[in-house]
Amino acid sequence: MAIDKFLVEASHIMMFARSVGDANPIYHDEEYAKRTDSGGIIAPPTFAQSSAQFDPDYFLRPKIGGEGWFGSGKEATGSKPSKDSGGGGGGGAAMGLHAEQHFEYHMTLKAGDVLTATTKPGNSWEKESKRAGKLKFSESVTEYRNQDGELVITATGVGVQTERAVDS
């Protein structure tokens, strides 16, 4: 996965903060945020995950005029997207689950920043589990750099492919 332009915008930060139940005004009130040490609106700690919005090939988004979708319409199925088409900083493939996520913050991510992201595969390993059969883990490491080329966030995601649905 590579993202050429991830625009970090105040309105997107506001919507993202709402969705994770965060009412902190530093995520939506510019006047308040100006008076803080950061000098403006900043992004919540997991915001980089929404870079998926800026990945043209992100496989967990229905495509306009696209290749079909695997959610229910008239029937309870559809075509599955390719397992190889992007990963959004981890999270696994089509029927995969997200096993782990790690962020390292080198700088504070702010509204107005323009990021690029490049992802490289990391380790992969297998494990047997009682609750979901054979588990195949794979790691991906994404580096987010700002408009000055500075490293802002390193994100490491671990996805897992399960043999069957996880017993609860």
Partner 1 sequence: MLKENEIKVGDTHSSVLVEDLKRTQIVQYAGASGDYNPLHTDEIFTTQIAGYPSVFAHGMLSMGLTGTMLTDYVGDGALKKYGVRFTNQVWPGDTLTGKATIIEIRQEDDGKVIDLMIETTNQDNVSVITGNATAKIES
**Residues at the interface with partner 1 (CB under 8 A):** 12, 15-16, 18-22, 24, 26, 36-38, 42, 44-46, 49-53, 58, 60-62, 69-72, 76-77, 88, 91, 95, 97-105, 108, 156, 164-166, 168
Cα(38)–Cα(47) distance, integer angstroms: 16
- Pick the closer one to partner 1 by CB: 6 or 145: 6
Cβ at position 164, least distance to partner 1 in Å: 7
Q: How many residues does the chain have?
A: 168
- CA distances in angstroms from 98 to 38, 136, 139, listed in the order given: 31, 11, 10
Q: Which of 50, 161 has the CB closer to partner 1?
A: 50
Give the tokens for residue 24.
């902190």
Nearer to partner 1, 59 or 145 (CB): 59
Determine the Cα angle at 105 with ends 103 and 109, to 5°: 110
For the CB of residue 127, give the shortest distance to partner 1 in the complex, in Å: 13
In the complex with partner 1, the residue whose CB is nearer, 20 or 151, is 20
Both structure tokens of 65: 């005029």
Nearest to 140 by CA among 121, 126, 161, 160: 121
Shortest reach from residue 46's CB to partner 1, in Å: 5
Q: What is the DSSP string of 25-44?
A: GGGT-HHHHHTSTT-S-B--
Q: Which residues, 6+ apart, have CB-to-CB distance to 6 below 8 Å? A: 51, 54, 114, 115, 116, 117, 144
Smaller CB separation from partner 1, 41 or 145: 41
Min dist. Cβ of residue 78 to partner 1 (A): 8
CB of 45 to partner 1, least distance (A): 4
